[in-house]
Structure 1
């Protein structure tokens, strides 16, 4: 599913124009980015939690050449799914 698919579903489900649905989706994404950028977790009950975690610099290895290379310190976003989200995914027929 793409962002455009989400916008189309929001438009249909909420009886909004496509432009208003796109604005709503973009606003939610913007808020999530801003909160994570400030180091705040984003908790969506019954869905999951987005958190920013810091990774320290470390030595890695190039898998092709075997040469060691330093991997710089960075921040990564971690998503931990909620109980209801897991149940919904696991109950889907494949």
Structure 2
């Protein structure tokens, strides 16, 4: 499912226009991003939680040449699914 398909599904499920669903989705994405940027954790009970983790600088290898390369430190976003989401994906 891509973004436009998600907007269509949200609009149909909520009985709202696609424009309103698009604004709601963009607001959600923006607010999650802003919270993570401030170092906060975002948690939706039953769905999952997002957090930011620091990855330290390290040495890596170029797979084509085998030469060592330096990989810079950076922050990465992590997602941990909630129990309800995990159960729904693993239900048979």
| TM-score bracket for this pair, using the shorter chain length | over 0.9
Q: Give the length in aligned residue pairs.
A: 92
CA distance in 2, matches of 1:11, 1:86: 25
Q: Name the residue aligned to 2:75.
A: 75
Q: Name the residue aligned to 2:18.
A: 18
Instruction: Please give the per-residue CA displacement for 1:40-72, whole angstroms capped at 9, x wherever unaligned.
Output: 111011011111000111111111111000000
* 1:1-94 pair list within 5 angstroms: 1-92=1-92
CA distance in 2, matches of 1:85, 1:11: 21
Q: Normalising to structure 1: TM-score of the pair?
A: 0.94
Q: Look up the SS of the partner of 2:64 in the other structure.
A: coil
Q: Look up the SS of the partner of 1:50 in the other structure.
A: strand
- Once superposed, which parts of structure 1, at least 4 consecutive aligned residues long, lie more than 2 Å away? none
Provide structure 1 residue ranges, at least 5 long, that are not aligned to the other structure: none
CA distance in 2, matches of 1:86, 1:65: 40
CA distance in 2, matches of 1:80, 1:17: 31
CA distance in 1, matches of 2:85, 2:15: 25
